[in-house]
Amino acid sequence: MGKRDYAIILLACRLGLRCGDIKKLTKENFQWEQKQLVFVQSKTRTTLSLPITQDVGWAVIDYLRYGRPKVDSPYVFIRHLAPFLPFTEDNHLNKIISKYMKMAHIPMKKKKVGMHSLRHTLASLLLEIDTPLPVISDILGHVDTESTAVYLKVDIEKLKECPLDFQEDIVNE
């Protein structure tokens, strides 16, 4: 189960995959020769192609070889309690994150705990290293940059670089 959880967490925090997309991944989505992960996003219905980073690739391979129960399922990630079935539609994998936060003694009181928090963290980190917003949008699979602009609120330093011209607002009134 640990190998599965590790691979799932890496897919969320390194590639920004949504929980629903992680649950629907099949072996065919991993194009190992091209080092690409190609899938149709469940939310936008658009095809997304992302590079398989070395850490993500090895985590998925390790899980498939040594951690995944030997069952006939097209999905890469399955539940590890019998019956070994795919995750249900309403399972948002939040227990995975909660489990490891508790093990690491990370307080969860005022934090959003869930797979989406890892996706949000990736966007925030990309902003911190001056990744252009359109690139972040592409990585996260957003149809337009307006969806990605939500992540701007976390980068206070970048927001300080966007001063408002109050004189212009007063003149226009």
* Residues with catalytic function: 18, 43, 116, 119, 142, 151
Question: In what order do the strands lie in the sheet containing 36-40?
Answer: 30-31, 36-40, 47-51
Whole-number Å distance between alpha carbons of 4 and 100 = 13
CA distances 31 to 1, 17, 48, 52, 72, Å, are 24, 16, 13, 9, 20
Of the candidates 41, 60, 54, the one whose C-alpha atom is nearest the C-alpha of residue 138 is 41
Amino acid letter, residue 145: T
CA distances 41 to 123, 125, 141, Å, are 17, 22, 8
Amino acid letter, residue 165: D
Tokens of 162: 């966007």
Question: Is the Cα dihedral 92, 95, 96, 101 positive or negative?
Answer: positive
